[in-house]
Structure 1
């Protein structure tokens, strides 16, 4: 039996967990592949017009997955850390899909993820609905998830040691794991923290490969997922109240950490046009960057894929950072 995992949204963070779990249960896992213009067009046509680009892209991947497999995996994300929640679109994602994609009726696997404190989303009770749908025993589900959690912890360890999410995914797919850590190079003359939700930063179509473009310019990259959750939250302690959304807090906490990091020369915030939580995160990051005296810029991505403006902005930001760094060196000399 085939199950498709859409190559979108939290795929970039949780794919090793889900891939291992379903394979351990005997499913054939189908990856819908990187976003293309055709996938974006399908999603934009099916989704409501005023919804954000990441959801349109996800809808396109669901349509693609339904053509490739018997079922498509669309989890309902409510929370993974009390008292925070996910964006309402994540909470209602299965409903959005079933309401806009006619072919999805009866073919969507939608576990409810509503945990008090479980970033690994590894509790077997989340996936107990598979016992009713396919006849798995609770023991089979528990053992499969135990193996998946081991893999996911190893995957996170790669990121905490310096691999970006996309490179850690490549290591997982290739079975190389820690071998790739030896290839991590930090030989650029400037370092930029690229902050944003994984589905904005690592969808190469909508972000136009911002990470690779920066690396091609000789920039060292740091990202939010390289910072462990507890470290990110430690940086939020001076606020009287945290934000309502878990990954928004993760991005903001990582940003505050990098603003104190002497190796980081500047911050780029990658955000999807029309994202409500990001509008708040972006203002916090901009304010805190001004206080810290570190350059900050925002790159907004959407379904309109003109590349020229982004390349120009990236190159200008990198040039500005280099000039600023050279000026400081000249003053010392």
Structure 2
């Protein structure tokens, strides 16, 4: 029987599951994901994780427990840096140790370190160590790595066409094309935040689905090529230290300056240290661009649907009234396909692993 590899369906799963899934399957392993978040997973995570951990980390603990008895190995990479400039949240760096020392009876953890600052072939070396942990031959590991990188490029290409991670994964795995996007004339909101909050349907209380049901188009950070975001001048003394926070803030500035969306929603997790800074910067930037409505929503393990739905509906109604007023005055700008201007940036699509120059 093939060795079973467990990949928790949280945190960087929303960006790199196609990569990791392809790599281990090419090595002959059976990949098992914990799937979508459930209330039971959240309850398990809240019980076992540290009380002051943010809700995404608590969720991760729950996903691990859901997988523990089904697999031979857990893949929990120690992701440090993938762009040579910024690093991931320190909780990501210590995640394998947190799981190993907090939960009992978990299978062996493959915790290969990924830090591209260690050399030009550091990423290939990280996957090589992961493959060797399974006893795979070098030739097979190299081929698996190449195919995993090809799957990653294809995945991020779909994201930059306007699809969201769940839709892109479905297209890659099953060849099923999701439903059509809202008509071009409908309002468009930028929903900004970390992918493991925005795209987790349970903890986000189905925010993206709610907006689409209202007939509102949605664009997220993942839909923008990092090569575009890297050119945004944030007018800060130095670049933000955290990878995902830096991308969120750059996307916010882009939308405010280009005015390609009707509103911006920042979805943040209560108790997130980096986000407490990012959200403040976003609020300050929004004050300088009052013509683009901005709202910040904070979620935690106690968030309920009613409160979020009420705020979301009120925000959407306000934006729609504003559009009607501006359109009646003849000042409403035509909105083409927002992402069309980003295709083939510098001859190819970008992805979160691409090097990006620091702020000017």
Q: TM-score range by the shorter chain?
A: over 0.9
From 243, 246, 264, the equivalent of 1:246 is: 243
Aligned to 1:201: 198
2:68 and 2:255 mapped to 1: Cα distance?
A: 41
CA contact (8 A) 1:122 1:145 kept: no
| Deviates most, 190-199 or 278-287 | 278-287
Structure 2 unaligned regions, length at least 5: 332-360
1:219 corresponds in structure 2 to 216
Cα RMSD over matched residues? 2.0
Deviation at 1:261, TM superposition (A): 2.9
Distance 1:219 1:135 in 2: 49
Match of 1:58 in 2: 60
Correspondence list, 1:219-238, <5 A: 219-236=216-233, 238=235
Partner of 1:327: 325
CA deviation after TM superposition for structure 1 residue 238, in Å: 3.6
Give the drift of 1:134.
2.3
Q: Which has the higher contact order (CA 8 A, sep 6+)?
A: 2
Note if contact 2:181-2:217 (Cα within 8 Å) is conserved in structure 1: no
Contact 1:12/1:169, CA 8 A, preserved across alignment: no
Partner Cα distance (2:271, 2:9) in 1: 21
Q: Distance in 2 between matches of 1:258 and 1:242?
A: 19
- The number of residue pairs the alignment matches comes to 327
Quick one: distance in 1 between partners of 2:325 and 2:288?
Answer: 21
Counterpart check, 1:112 vs 2:110: no
- Alpha carbons 2:190, 2:218 under 8 Å: kept: yes
Q: Distance in 2 between matches of 1:122 and 1:115?
A: 5
* Residue equivalent to 1:125: 125
| TM-score calculated relative to the size of structure 2 | 0.86
Q: Segments of 4+ in structure 1 off by > 6 A? A: none
Which residue pairs with 2:267 in the alignment? 270
Distance 2:172 2:112 in 1: 24
Question: Paired residue for 1:95?
Answer: 97
- Residues 18-63 of structure 1, C-alpha deviation per residue, up to 9 Å, x if partnerless? 0000000000000111010111111111111111110010011111
SS at match of 1:260: helix
Q: Which runs of 5+ in 1 are unaligned?
A: none
CA contact (8 A) 1:82 1:117 kept: no
- 1:313 corresponds in structure 2 to 311
State the shift of 1:17 in Å: 0.3
Give me the TM-score of the superposition, normalised by structure 1.
0.93
Question: Contact 2:128–2:142 at 8 Å: present in 1 too?
Answer: no
Report the equivalent of 1:3.
5
Q: Which has the higher helix share?
A: 1
Measured after TM superposition, the shift of residue 132 of structure 1 is: 4.1
CA distance in 1, matches of 2:118, 2:236: 20
Superposed displacement of residue 249, structure 1: 0.9
